Chain A
Amino acid sequence: MAGKSGRTIAATRESGLKDKLFSWEGALILVLIAVNILGATLSPNYNVTNILRESPRYLAEIFMLFGMAFILVLGDIDISVGSIVCLTATVGCLVSNAGHGVGLVILACLGVGLICGMVNGFVATRFTELPTMIITLGTQIVFRGIAEVALGSGGSASMTNLQSVAPLRAKLGPLPLSFFIVLVAAVIFIIVLNKTTFGRKLYAIGSNKTTAYYTGIEVQQIRFFSFSLIGFLAGLCGLFLLASTYGANTTTGNGFEMEVIAMCVFGGIATTGGKGNIIGGFIAAFIIVCLRIAFGQINMNTQLILVIIGVMLIVSVLIPSISTAFKKPKKKTS
């Protein structure tokens, strides 16, 4: 069926893509199960209790996944989040060391994160000619620079007043508090992105900014909001990281931005904008967390996991183009 008008081609392609996305999440779930079976066979200690005990360290990163999904769907990128995590953890640590309670620590972390995000958003919306990669590259260096100045010559700070983060380490049964926050956040953000007009506007902007603008969507306000949101979530990540490590140093959060982007991409969210959804990213995040824990338990060279994540990332983005390459000859023969 050689459709001569562009319209038919576009229509057939769309339904094909939809099927692919459905199967993509299904495939991710299979991978997640496979990873868990692998972990269980490799290590005798790989069980639910141990996973839950080790998970808080990794769970903090997943907060940022939701914000990054918004940013990527918009067709933007934010590589400053690792530095925002570093800055918020630093500020939180200093506030707590000054003798303040948990309320002020939370407020400081979230506030600083939000402000950092708003700075990104402000520059990104005022100077729309600039690629957000460049803007956040600059703020990445600036935010970490501020943290370095605040940390002083030692380059690290540890908490003297451990009580001030105790409520954040609370457990509800066997599960850490951050696990519930991640779950609740996941539900909220999945609904927002898939079922609300706001979410659909994000896709519209990501697919075509100019068209979205002419249809009356507040493109710049939404971008500003999304950048502020990811800043806020990075602050949340910094807060929980502080609560699980009791300190901050100049390398805190190093490389988080790439890990979060990798989770999103592996989950099927395209960096070109307008494609993918949070569920995929969420499953992908758990795949990576489970892999990390499993490899950590059998004392495998921890850096080998970098190679595996890298290969998975490239293979996962290659699959769509490989499958279209296989489909093409079929179309020609029919």
Chain B
Amino acid sequence: MQKDKSLIKKITGSREASLVVVLIVLLAVISVMSPSFLSLTNISQIFRNNALTMLMALGMLCVMLTAGIDISITSVLAFSGMTIGLMQKYDVLHSTPLLFLVGMLIGTACGALNGLIISKGKVAPIICTMGAMYIWRGMAYVISNNSWASGADVSGFSDFGKEGSVGPYVILAIAYVVFFIVMKWTKFGRKIYAVGSNTEAARISGINVEKTIISVYAIMGLLAGLAGVLSVSIYASAQPNMQYGKEMDVIAACVIGGVSMNGGRGSVVGTFLGALIIGVIAKALPLIGIDAIAQNLVKGAIILVVVVLNVITQRMIDRQALLRREM
């Protein structure tokens, strides 16, 4: 009895543990319904198909930790991806590392601009990034001049992300390890948490809040730019409308992963699990016989159920804590 209680408490108490339970249950149900699901090809495809979401979720984690939000990411992605796509089309640049560098620089610049407007101009993050969303998506269209970079244009470069190449997995792994270490054990990572938990307290304790916020958005931009390059490489083409509307998937991954929109709460492991859960669901639905058409419906319903369940469990925990205090 006593043991049971503490186990439940552990699971409901730790966001990550409960997400692992959700993921295990999900995988168990899916593999019962479709025994071939847990194969290496399927699992690697889950990561490949969601590489962009998983990558950008890390940046979104940082942004949401400071109680902000960035909805311009897929526009930045399109702008950076379109730029490097066109660079290859018009034979400006063909070296893969340099193209990565250019994409990341563009992204960082876009992100830093967001950060500057938000911190120095005191503009609400959603409004600033909404403006940026229009600007960079529009710029992607303008520079493309109604054309797109096809598979032939990016042929040498797309080897990096083509089916079977380890490129995207390596980038994902490096990004997650780096972020895990930075967020947990470095001064900068803790500063982000401090700013998000209580901006005033952070300011008084000597943290340069504005600098932290600018760097957080710059990091988000860097990852979005990187995702743009990766997207061109994985899908072997660059169009100005790429990944349109997918910023909501990234936010959803963070929210499922337990990142609070009010700032200060969330972890790299949770973000990883949240993004993974979304990826597993998207991959599993066709396999267990749910029509691909219904995919969004199921995805949205799961997001709603998860966030509502989260509130209900939180209320239960609070009530129990109150009861214990009364006793």
Contacts and interface: CB of A to CB of B under 8 A. Distances in A.
Interface string A130-154: 1101110111111111101100110
Contact of B261 (A133, A152, A271, A306): A133
Nearest to A272: B124
Interface string B300-327: 1101100110010010000000000000
B261 A303 contact: no
B126 A130 contact: no
A310 B117 CA distance: 13
A140 B142 contact: no
| Chain B interface size, under 10 / 10 to 19 / 20 to 34 / 35 or more | 35 or more
Contact of A134 (B128, B255, B293, B295): B255
Interface of B is mostly: helix
A313 B131 contact: yes
B299 interface: yes
A307 interface: yes
Contacts of A313: 127, 130-131, 134
Contacts of A1: none
Contacts of A305: 138
B84 interface: no
A137 B308 contact: no
B295 A145 contact: yes
Interface in A286-317: 301, 303-311, 313-314, 317
B117 to A, nearest CB: 6
Nearest to A137: B248
Given A137-B252, A145-B300, A310 B314 contact: no
A261 interface: yes
Interface in B197-230: none
Contacts of B131: 262, 309-311, 313-314, 317
A127 B311 contact: yes
B135 A310 contact: yes
Interface string B46-58: 0000000000000
A134 B261 contact: yes
Interface in B221-253: 240, 244-245, 248, 251-252
A254 interface: yes
Contacts of B194: none
B303 A138 contact: yes
Given A145-B300, A318-B121, A271 B127 contact: yes
Given A141-B303, A261-B130, A149 B261 contact: no
29 contacts: A77-B126, A123-B308, A129-B311, A130-B307, A130-B308, A131-B261, A131-B262, A133-B261, A137-B255, A138-B304, A140-B300, A141-B299, A141-B300, A145-B296, A145-B299, A145-B301, A148-B296, A149-B293, A262-B131, A265-B130, A272-B124, A303-B137, A303-B142, A306-B134, A308-B138, A310-B131, A314-B131, A317-B131, A318-B123
- Top 10 A-B residue pairs of the complex, sorted by shortest distance between their CB atoms: A145-B297, A141-B300, A306-B138, A310-B134, A303-B141, A142-B300, A310-B135, A145-B296, A307-B138, A314-B131
Given A301-B141, A314-B128, A318-B121, 16 more contacts: A133-B126, A137-B251, A137-B252, A137-B303, A140-B248, A141-B296, A141-B297, A142-B296, A146-B297, A265-B127, A301-B146, A303-B240, A304-B142, A310-B134, A313-B131, A318-B123
